Amino acid sequence: MVSTPLLKNISIIIPLAPNETHPEKLLKTLKKTKAQIILSSEGSRAKSLNAGAHQAKNQFLWFLHADTRITLENLNMLEHAIEMHPQDLHYFDLAFDQKGLMALNAWGANKRSHIFGTPFGDQGFCISKPQFEKIGGYPEDTPYGEDLMFVWSIRQKGIHLNNIPSQLVTSARKYTQQGWLKLTCLYQWRWISMSLPEAWILVRKKS
């Protein structure tokens, strides 16, 4: 029987908002580890993430959404990833807790991450605290897309992104509530419109 990794050098930050699911299932999975668990609610996701990171006592920060579902495979592969590449930003492949059209969304998100290097926050970012502080944390002056802007800041600093080939499952609740087509189109428009100027900055730096 494979034992649960202890994650002694990891602080897990879970941002909470009034309209989000409380993370009972996630906390139940994590209670067998020795990781520091930080629930943070500071009015906005970016402020909550930064406040949680400030409280962290361990070397690595793992940012998880409240409705994330963690498996033993996720934990083992994360430990291995940070051991092999401690200076990288690590992220998982994405999966949803519903099939059908949501399988298409997961496929698209993973292709976008692998090809364009733009994973989103629901893919479980993990980074060392010194690297996080070097970047300056999540931008608090944007109304949405703080995770995408965080990734672009990382890339502009020359920090490598490492994909962990393990599926991190998240909830499709928002798509059910707001409509699959509406939310899918909104997210696609946001990442393209926010990424174009950032990609241009990277191109100019390399030229």
Task: Return averaged pLDDT per consecutive 10 residues of the chain, 207 residues in all.
Answer: 79 86 87 94 94 97 95 95 97 95 95 94 97 96 93 94 97 90 91 82 70
Residue type at position 4: T
Report pLDDT digits (tens) over 78-109.
999 999 999 999 999 999 999 999 999 999 99
Instruction: State the pLDDT at residue 198.
Output: 79
Cα–Cα dist 183/156, whole Å: 28
Domain definitions of the chain by residue range? 10-206
Mean pLDDT of all residues belonging to the chain: 92
Give domain 10-206's CATH superfamily. Spore Coat Polysaccharide Biosynthesis Protein SpsA; Chain A (3.90.550.10)
Cα–Cα dist 170/107, whole Å: 14
Three-state DSSP at 14 gives: strand
Instruction: State the pLDDT at residue 191.
Output: 86
Instruction: State the pLDDT at residue 203.
Output: 66
CB 79 within 8 A of CB 126: no
For 187, the token pair is 């997210």
CB 9 within 8 A of CB 60: yes
Cα–Cα dist 148/88, whole Å: 16
